[in-house]
Amino acid sequence: MSNAKFQPSRKMMVIYKRIEEFVERNGRRPRILISSIGKKHHHQETRRLATFLAETGFDVDVGPMQQTPQRAARMATENDVHAICFFGIINRHKELICELTESLKAENGEDIRLIIGGSLPESDYEVPYHAGVALIIDTGALDIELMNRLLDVLEKR
């Protein structure tokens, strides 16, 4: 057996430092709700993303599968998250974003950032961004660059 200790990469150390700076500025770790809205077949992506974010220093809440936008908004505000990352039905993204945005307003959660997770083709990015999504992430490419982009979004909150 080896006595060698795990040493994070220099890039990962930058992420850890950014998260600690976030904590210093905000008094707590970045907190995100990961939810599947309108569809129940995203459990593997949800679990994978939740694990990745938790391992890098986020506080992660995972919502129930096949949740409504209204329930997701209520859970997000009750848990005081910085962002909701949701997986939804591809052809309904605009509708779901609008419903979620309205539900967040009704719950006084207008400052909660919206993030779409999944495998959305880049040709379809314009509609969600125009509807108010702050970030679209490909859960097949969970890496340090994603963490930097996510922290950028949360710091602009």
Q: Is the pLDDT of residue 110 over 90?
A: yes
What's the pLDDT at 157? 60
Per-residue pLDDT tens over the stretch 57-72: 999 999 887 788 999 9
N-terminal to C-terminal alpha carbon distance within the chain: 46
Residue type, 85: C
CA dist list (Å): 36 to 45, 57, 111, 152: 10, 22, 20, 23
What pLDDT, on the 0 to 100 scale, is given for residue 93? 72
The mean pLDDT value for 136-155 works out to 87
DSSP string over the chain: ---PPP---HHHHHHHHHHHHHHHHHSS--EEEEEEES-S--HHHHHHHHHHHHHTT-EEEEPPTTB-HHHHHHHHHHTT-SEEEEEE-GGGHHHHHHHHHHHHHHTT-TTSEEEEEE---GGG-HHHHHHT-SEEEETT--SHHHHHHHHHHHHT-
List, for residues 82-101, the tens digit of each pLDDT value: 999 988 666 677 788 889 99
Which range, 43-47, 107-111, 118-122, is most confident? 107-111
Domains in the chain, please, with CATH? 30-155 (3.40.50.280)
How confident is residue 128, by pLDDT bands cut at 50, 70 and 90?
A: confident
Q: What is the pLDDT of residues 3-60, one digit of tens each?
A: 556 667 888 899 999 999 999 999 999 999 998 876 655 577 788 889 989 998 999 9
